[in-house]
Amino acid sequence: MRLTKFGHACVRVEKDGRRLVIDPGGLTEPDALDGADAVLVTHEHFDHFSEERLREAARRNPALRIWANASVARLLDGLGGRVTAVGEGEAFAAAGFDVRVYGTWHAPIHPDLPRIGNVGFLVDEAVFHPGDALTVPDGATVDTLLLPVHGPWSTTGQLIDYVRAVAPRQAYAIHDGALNDVGTAMVGGLMGDNGPGIGAPYGRLAAGASTSL
Mean pLDDT across the stretch 126-154?
Answer: 97
Nearest alpha carbon to residue 16 among 124, 104, 89, 113: 124
- Domain extent listing, the chain: 2-205
Which helix (H) or strand (E) segment holds residue 115: the answer is none
pLDDT digits 0-9 by tens, 65-91: 999 999 999 999 999 999 999 999 999
Q: Residue 19: pLDDT band by 50, 70, 90 thresholds?
A: very high
Predicted local confidence at residue 44, as pLDDT: 98
Q: What's the order of all strands across the beta sheet hosting 11-15?
A: 83-85, 65-68, 38-41, 18-22, 11-15, 2-5, 210-212
User: Given a cut of 90, is residue 30 above it in pLDDT?
Assistant: no
Q: What is the third-level CATH fold of 2-205?
A: Metallo-beta-lactamase; Chain A (3.60.15)
Tell me the three-class secondary structure of 77-94, residue by residue: CCCHHHEEECCCCCEEEE
Predicted local confidence at residue 36, as pLDDT: 97
Which helix (H) or strand (E) segment holds residue 188: the answer is helix 181-191
Predicted local confidence at residue 207, as pLDDT: 93
